[in-house]
Amino acid sequence: MKKLVSLILTITAALALAVPAMAADTIKVGVPLAMTGAYTDTGDNYWKGIKIAIDEINASGGLLGKQLEPVRFDTQEFAPERVMQGADYLCGKMKVDSVHAGWAGWGQDVRAYGKYTAPFFADDGSQSAVDVFNQDPKKYSNIYQLTDTDINQASSMFRVLMALPYEYPNKKVAIITADDAWGTGVGETLAKNFKKEGWKVALHEEVPYGTREWGPILTRIRKAKPAIIHLEIVSAQEVITFFRQFMESPTKSILSYGYSIVPREVVQTMGTEADGIIGEVPTAMPTPIAPTPEAQAWVENFKKIWGHQPQAGSWAAYSGVKAWAAAVEAVGDAKDHAAVCKYISTKGYKGETGWWKWDESNVMRAGGDVPIGHYQVQGGELVTIFTDPPVKPYKDFKFQTPRWCK
């Protein structure tokens, strides 16, 4: 009996020692994304890129010989208290060594994850988030933005609209945006740019997520007959219902969807019905033909895994994981967060399209090897027709006049 008890105690002790040893064989990676609510579609885009990166690293032997273990958290609709809960859970409780959040807010995420030291990669596209960072760059030195701000993206949308090889019938624009920080920031910037160029803003409306009945707004649009309609609501059903109700009696207006074009559900649901709509993707992986052989191989791999072209966010989130992993390899210790962040800030990262270099506010500014892509739906898929800055046509792909404008 004593021998049996001794054996049981020995096995128990061995298992107790094995648990932390097993845990030490993985590096935890925080993944706070919208899995429910209005931003679910964009959250799914980010997850697809993050998962490919993690799977690639694990398949190649891991990072410093350890497998990456994703730890997910549902950020829902980025309420400040929810974002803080995510930071406390992932960094405080689970002790992750990096966080890859995609679109995570407009400053509340900087405050929440800036309390900790793990490198945090967001795709906020928010001047408000950058302003929070700039209040205390040392405190928030672990925060990295994967894309340029709403102000700069909206200005890029405007430049491309002015560069289209198309003769506008008038100088009137209608702007409809969501009533969140992203929508209002883009709408205000566009309105300012249009007015500066002598255009009349015939309509500027902010609507809540969930808007599906567009009759009153479309009545005003049909009366004004604007040359451009810009819709900025990053949720599929809102922009799908707008288009279908617009097409019941369309005006000869270029439909500019901005970042609203990015939820996969938009082109997946409408297919060729959406042909003619234009939109933009920051931190772009141009498609259907990528700018380099390495990038094209990445696009083909993405399509093989997920069955469709990469949407906005997938490429940015993938590259954030890879930039962090490259820094960890160089430093030699995933737990040395300060050294990893210093490496990212000073050395940057060379990806499939070229170099990624963050500025003094830890923002990946558009241009060079990481431009903003401007797309048109052609044949039921997003086709890159311009990159910016500077504005230039992309390869041999051409803008096609929408059928309702002919």
Taking only the tens place, the pLDDT of each residue in 342-397 is: 999 999 999 999 999 999 999 999 999 999 999 999 999 999 999 999 999 999 99
Q: Which has more pLDDT, 179 or 42?
A: 179
Query: Distance (Å, rounded) from C-alpha 283 to C-alpha 163?
Result: 20
pLDDT of residue 337: 98
Taking only the tens place, the pLDDT of each residue in 93-130 is: 999 999 999 999 999 999 999 999 999 999 999 999 99
Average pLDDT over the chain reads 93
Query: Distance (Å, rounded) from C-alpha 68 to C-alpha 53?
Result: 10
Q: Hey, what CATH topology would domain 23-145+299-356 get? A: Rossmann fold (3.40.50)
Give the burial class of 311: count Cβ atoms within 10 A of its Cβ; 0-12 exposed, 13-18 middle, 19 or more buried: buried
pLDDT of residue 263: 87
pLDDT of residue 288: 95
Q: What is the mean pLDDT of residues 78-90?
A: 95
Q: Hey, what CATH topology would domain 158-284+373-405 get? A: Rossmann fold (3.40.50)
Place of tokens 């003769």: 167
pLDDT of residue 206: 98
pLDDT of residue 24: 65
Q: What is the mean pLDDT of residues 25-54?
A: 94
254 DSSP 8-state letter: E
Q: What beta strand segments (E) does 218-334 contain?
A: 228-232, 254-256, 278-281
Q: Which has more pLDDT, 2 or 148?
A: 148
Per DSSP, what are the bridge partners of residue 392? Answer: 387
Query: Distance (Å, rounded) from C-alpha 42 to C-alpha 264?
Result: 8
Sequence length of the chain is 406
Is residue 261 within 8 Å of residue 240, measured between CB atoms? no
pLDDT band at 262 (very low <50, low <70, confident <90, very high): confident
pTM above 0.85, yes or no: yes
Q: What is the mean pLDDT of residues 6-17?
A: 43
- Whether 23-145+299-356 shares its CATH topology with 158-284+373-405 is answered yes
Query: Distance (Å, rounded) from C-alpha 370 to C-alpha 343?
Result: 19
pLDDT of residue 364: 97
Query: Distance (Å, rounded) from C-alpha 343 to C-alpha 352?
Result: 19
Query: Distance (Å, rounded) from C-alpha 97 to C-alpha 39?
Result: 25
Indicate the domain borders of the chain.
23-145+299-356, 158-284+373-405
pLDDT of residue 2: 44
